[in-house]
Chains A and B, each alone.
Chain A
């Protein structure tokens, strides 16, 4: 159920990217898509009443495996957030430069390449 909600969030982002004409809205659409996938990855490793995946003194490995959350998706999400930030900065930089050149954020008016 909750995975389906993540997928719906992904589709909302996809709608923003494909159907909106404003560059800022397109960038927001990409952000929504990225965070829906991050959320999905986190939820994959989540478990109710889970504990941190650290083996403390006096704890057997069995209990850890049974009750700890999966740490790997969390590591993946951190890396994914960092790459997402790099791309966001790139997108915003290009958007600002485009606004300086064309005086608008509307992508339908940026058609110099075709002429």
Chain B
């Protein structure tokens, strides 16, 4: 599998053909979209442990466009395509029940996956921006897909804040081209470290990128769009937003730029640590008071991203290992929780925790998987969230930053508190406005919606056991990519 352009051309072509063909055949969008995402998942698994630099149009590296696959982008590809496949599988029944136009939905979903794959693979900063816009435009449409007043309001807020960030990034790209006359990321890094890297212009460009990609990865000063967008999106799209979009468009690019292009400096790592710690605390504190299930999960997303950024701010190899492990874990358990929220909405038509209750008897699969996900996210052994948080906290103490370790522990305890509330009101007990008569017809969701939930729950349990079987063997290549800094990235892409 050397042809990396398949990750872009396949979903884009299918997204184009779905609306044309499926006006006649009703079955077409479901089957073809699921098949495409499944093929993408298989292709991404085939690229594991490979290092490929694909030259588009066979132009050599600094002049033409390159697609770069290394350990880090490989892991992100697997995560995105796994979540993408499970989300499409879940959408089959869910979209049927709540929305009308399935073909447009699948078309937009596949375009969004194209954009995310492109962002991850791109080795050229302007192309990265274009793919990022592709993913974002389709996700604006997906968030407002229901076209009710609330959906549109959430979508417009998401659009305004993210577009502002996009234009800051575009300004940064323009300034980079003005200064270095190149767009290839490895070549930029080469020029940046060859000459005067303490230039004020370089600092300005870095600030533009930090604000831009920080907004997309939902760090705390820039997190305003997160709860509204997640709340108004259809549940599978919320799962994709939490598990895919903020990881690939935000965290991945931010880490790639700081570690492999600009180079990590003490100032940057301090900013990362403070941004991460503040995100952990503020996200979890705001989650405590929420009564809408999706809004609660959205605030937890902010706090979990905080853990990842904190880990990369500490920057020792152990902390990076924990951060990367937490990226994987957060994708798994947060998508699982959003899919569970979708199942609950599918059966009961509400997400208000006050009105829910006693679902454990009526929906055993959903409640058990939600229990696994809640235990994972709040850091209870032996589930995956515990191990990654433990590694981050141990690394923080080893690096001589006990205060940040304490903040991480407090964040974890508060997370446990708010997920206890979720479990208590939705599954084990019942809310204040719980009305028994409305819940007569509630049963378990259809089997097509159960499969992705069960798969994610099993993965949440298994990844917790990775620690026994060589965590370093799996995430070692990823840590090497980031710890190698800009030197190894330049030599990989440009071959110098």
Q: Which A residues are within 8 Å of any B CB, using their own CB?
A: 10, 13-14, 17-18, 23, 26, 30, 33-34, 37, 40-41, 44, 72-73, 76, 79-80, 83, 86-87, 90-91, 94-95, 97-98, 101-102, 107, 110-113
B171 at the interface (CB under 8 A from A): yes
Quote the shortest CB–CB distance from A36 to chain B (angstroms): 9
Contact B228 A113 (CB under 8 A): yes
Contact B152 A94 (CB under 8 A): yes
B140 at the interface (CB under 8 A from A): yes
B174 at the interface (CB under 8 A from A): yes
Residue of B nearest to A18 (CB): B164
- Residues on A with beta carbons closer than 8 Å to the beta carbon of B163: 30, 87, 91
Question: Which of B134, B177, B232 is the one whose CB lies under 8 Å from A113?
Answer: B232
* In the complex with contacts A41-B177, A87-B163, A94-B140, A79-B130 CB distance below 8 A: yes
Inter-chain CB contacts under 8 Å: number: 82
Contact A44 B167 (CB under 8 A): no
Contact string, B201-239, partner A, CB cutoff 8 A, digits 1/0?
000000000000000000000000000100110000000
A37 to B172, CA, bound (A): 10
Q: Could you tell me which residues of chain B, from 130 to 164, have a CB within 8 Å of some CB in chain A?
A: 130, 133-134, 137, 140-141, 144, 147-150, 152-156, 159-160, 163-164
Contact B149 A112 (CB under 8 A): yes
- Residues on B with beta carbons closer than 8 Å to the beta carbon of A97: 144, 147, 152
Contact B178 A44 (CB under 8 A): yes
Quote the shortest CB–CB distance from A110 to chain B (angstroms): 5
A76 to B154, CA, bound (A): 31
- 4 closest cross-chain pairs (CB), A and B: A101-B149, A83-B133, A33-B167, A44-B178
- Residues on B with beta carbons closer than 8 Å to the beta carbon of A37: 167, 170-171, 174
Contact B167 A34 (CB under 8 A): yes
A51 to B228, CA, bound (A): 51
* In the complex with contacts A10-B171, A37-B174, A94-B130 CB distance below 8 A: no
B486 at the interface (CB under 8 A from A): no
A80 to B133, CA, bound (A): 10
Question: Which of A13, A80, A94, A101 is the one whose CB lies under 8 Å from B159?
Answer: A94
Contact A44 B174 (CB under 8 A): yes
B272 at the interface (CB under 8 A from A): no
